[in-house]
């Protein structure tokens, strides 16, 4: 609606790097694959070390995503591009900021599940929560699948 109501949509005006956005998308869809692999390993009763490896990979990929997003933010802010610059940047900071908070929440959730895997007795009773962590993580991935083209490509 904001875009339709602006005859001259400001856009990023070249201040957003498509390769960097593409790399971040690649990392996030990769993390969706690693967490579903963790779940598959758990359901196949594979050694807990296998589940832990895939979970650690998910946390690392999610953290890299946030690191790159932080780098993007810092370069924009260094160039004086802030949420009040224009309506595009208001949308950019709001959408990506809330998304980043959800990614951070997902990383914390995954770390908590990773902690449960350290105790065999605890893990037996809580292993179904890995599926819940996965569902949340995939939801965050799906949101980014739409945010990436809307902000970086159009």
Partner 1 sequence: MSSAHSSTRTYLAIWGWLAGLMLLGVVLAELPIPKLWIVLMVLALSSIKALLVALYYMHLKMDRRLLLFVAVAPLVLILLALSVVFSSHFIQL
- Chain residues binding partner 1 by CB under 8 A are 1, 4-5, 18, 22, 25-26, 29-30, 32-33, 36-37, 40-41, 43-44, 46, 134-135, 138, 141-142, 145-146, 148-149, 153-154
Residue nearer to partner 1 on the CB measure, 54 or 93: 54
Residue nearer to partner 1 on the CB measure, 83 or 148: 148
* Whole-angstrom distance, CA of residue 153 vs CA of residue 99: 18
Helices (H) and strands (E) in the chain, counts: 5, 0
Rg (CA), the chain: 18
Residue found under tokens 């780098």: 71
Residue nearer to partner 1 on the CB measure, 6 or 79: 6
- To the nearest whole angstrom, how small is the minimum distance from the Cβ of residue 77 to partner 1? 26
Q: 74: how many CB neighbours lie within 10 A of its CB? A: 10
């Amino acid at each position: 609606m904001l875009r339709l109501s602006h005859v001259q949509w400001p856009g990023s005006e070249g201040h957003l790097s498509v390769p960097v956005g593409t790399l971040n998308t690649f990392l996030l869809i990769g993390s969706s694959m690693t967490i579903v692999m963790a779940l598959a390993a758990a359901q196949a009763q594979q050694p807990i070390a296998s589940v832990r490896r895939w979970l650690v990979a998910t946390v690392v990929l999610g953290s890299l995503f946030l690191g790159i997003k932080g780098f993007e933010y810092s370069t924009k802010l260094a160039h004086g591009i802030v949420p009040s610059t224009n309506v595009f940047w208001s949308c950019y900071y709001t959408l990506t900021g809330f998304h980043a908070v959800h990614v951070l929440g997902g990383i914390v959730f995954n770390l908590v599940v990773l902690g449960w895997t350290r105790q065999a007795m605890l893990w037996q009773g809580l292993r179904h929560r890995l599926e819940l962590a996965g569902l949340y993580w995939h939801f965050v991935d799906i949101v980014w699948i739409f945010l990436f083209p809307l902000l970086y490509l159009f």
